[in-house]
Amino acid sequence: MDWILLLPVLIPVCGAVCLLAFGNRFGKKTAEYITLFCVFAAGITVLIISQTGGLSITVLPLLPELPVYFRSDGISQVFAGITAFMWFLSTWFSFGYLAEDERETKYQMFSLLSLGALLGVCYSGNLVTTYLFYEMMTLVTFPLVLHERTKEAVSAGLTYLYYSVAGAFLGLCGIFFLYANAMDGDRPGGKLGYLEGGFLKAGANKSVLLPVIFLMLVGLACKAGMFPLHGWLPKAHPVAPSPASALLSGNITKMGILFTVRVIFYSVGQEFLQETWVMDALLCLSLFTVFLGSMLAFREKLLKKRLAYSTVSQTSYCLTGIYLLSGTALTGALMHVVFHSVIKNLLFLCAGAIIVQTGKKTVTELKGIGKVLPSTMRCFTVAGLALVGIPPLSGFISKWYLAEGAIESGLPVFMYLAPAVLLISALLTAGYLLTVSADAFFGKTEEETERCPKSMYLLPPLIIGSILAIVLGVFPDPLTNFLERIVSGLF
């Protein structure tokens, strides 16, 4: 059964190749059916893998100690599962959003390639394989940002590319040093194969490795939008199609978080980093990013850019939980990965539904729009409440674990600073999201907004996302127990 690990990567890639070869011969509907089938099939395969147990396969032994290697474990199941499911909802939504777009088939082709690359990152079993798919992910998501082909889109796409390449370069430099200091001996995945607790040999030189690991983790956090490499997010989101913005924010940023988890807990080892200046510096950067992103979102008037700054803040919640090196905090971080993916995909899809049906893009234009798009704005409100962390919605659970984990860590400053910053950020989140909902339902618009035609593709993904945001908060135990089992193997 080990070969089944390749299917989540191969199915979307085969679908993309099919669209590339025969896209001009297909009608738009046929291309949409092929795309949806490939995403659905990849998702079903991910579900099968999660039920099968520990699988692993070596595909291409480039070098005896550096094979292209895939494996399934608890971490890969979490990230692959949320990626596949949210990709399905976003793809469904895109059929309505891009209905009048002549380039829809090309968008779907690159969307499928991106899904294959992300699932490759999820199931990678060593640093080399993760890096290969991580770079592939950048190259195939780059055209999604460029989709509109405007001057602003080209500028944003290049910014995204430059930041991503710079971050990946720092990651690659770190891989070279980790390889030189890895333990010898045969193990699955070669010399850089992931191992709980890390694979560094005893007596590794900390004075040399710590600065390298710091730069490596800062580079990998670029994809997650952590300061100072966060600038691509607010540029890329406003110009990309809303389904692509949802995926950039809800799923692609999570690959930076996944790579960070793999480096800290499965490559270097948390014991090597415990009580070092590296973790203190990273915690300072992540908490500053939480506050900075929330403040910038609060001041921003363009809706999608406001949501982009929100992502800058919220993904650093996850990074903070990881950097605390606490079991409870890591559980909260992984929970927030799932919850934020659902919530932020939902918010961007709501923004896309508003834009495509009314043409309104700024928050000041949304006064009274709840009377025109009541269902869309109700879903937006559910997502906003969940992101703020209002119980019993999903965001409350993860933030509670993060705050508890910070106190549990016992770090002299951060055990108090982290919960305080998270609380301030939650208040700012309420200010920049719930005010939009209040104005939409109770505000008076200066000009009458015409009622717009509804698409059968736009609303169902919003409703499903809203239900998921509620259900995950009301019934968190299955997810919480699963994540606690994963984390217990690391501490």
Q: Is residue 419 part of a domain?
A: yes
Q: Is residue 36 part of a domain?
A: no
Query: 200 is written with which tokens?
Result: 């560094």
Residue (of 313, 254, 318, 324) closest to 283 by Cα position: 324
Burial class (CB in 10 A: 0-12, 13-18, 19+), 63: exposed
| Model confidence, pTM | 0.94
Residue (of 319, 357, 337, 328) closest to 452 by Cα position: 357
- The pLDDT, as a whole number, for residue 25 is 78
Q: Tokens 């692609």 correspond to what residue?
A: 252
- The pLDDT, as a whole number, for residue 472 is 93
Residue (of 198, 189, 200, 199) closest to 63 by Cα position: 189
The one-letter code for the residue type at 337 is V
CB 309 within 8 A of CB 297: yes
Q: Is residue 409 part of a domain?
A: yes
Number of Cβ within a 10 Å radius of residue 241: 26
Give the per-residue SS3 of the chain: CHHHHHHHHHHHHHHHHHHHHHCCCCCHHHHHHHHHHHHHHHHHHHHHHHHHCCCEEEEEEEECCEEEEEECCHHHHHHHHHHHHHHHHHHHHHHHHCCCCCCHHHHHHHHHHHHHHHHHHHHECEHHHHHHHHHHHHHHHHHHHCCCCCHHHHHHHHHHHHHHHHHHHHHHHHHHHHHHCECCCCCCCHHHECCCCCCECCCCCHHHHHHHHHHHHHHHCCCCCCCCCCCHHHHHHHHCCHHHHHHHHHHHHHHHHHHHHHHHHHHHCHHHHCCCHHHHHHHHHHHHHHHHHHHHHHHCCEHHHHHHHHHHHHHHHHHHHHHCCCHHHHHHHHHHHHHHHHHHHHHHHHHHHHHHHHCCCEHHHHCCHHHCCHHHHHHHHHHHHHHHCCCCCHHHHHHHHHHHHHHHHCCCCHHHHHHHHHHHHHHHHHHHHHHHHHHHHHCCCCCCCCCCCCCCCCHHHHHHHHHHHHHHHHCCHHHHHHHHHHHHCCC
Residue (of 241, 243, 223) closest to 233 by Cα position: 223
- The pLDDT, as a whole number, for residue 337 is 95
- The pLDDT, as a whole number, for residue 447 is 57
Which residues in the chain come in under a pLDDT of 70? 62, 64, 445-455
Domains in the chain, number: 1
Q: Is residue 186 part of a domain?
A: no
Q: Is residue 120 part of a domain?
A: no
- The pLDDT, as a whole number, for residue 109 is 93
Query: 23 is written with which tokens?
Result: 């896209």
Domain that residue 382 falls in = 299-491
Q: Tens digit of pLDDT for each residue in 438-484?
A: 999 887 765 555 545 556 788 899 999 999 999 999 999 999 999 99
- The pLDDT, as a whole number, for residue 45 is 92
Q: Is residue 47 part of a domain?
A: no
Q: Is residue 142 part of a domain?
A: no
Q: Is residue 203 part of a domain?
A: no
CB 242 within 8 A of CB 351: yes
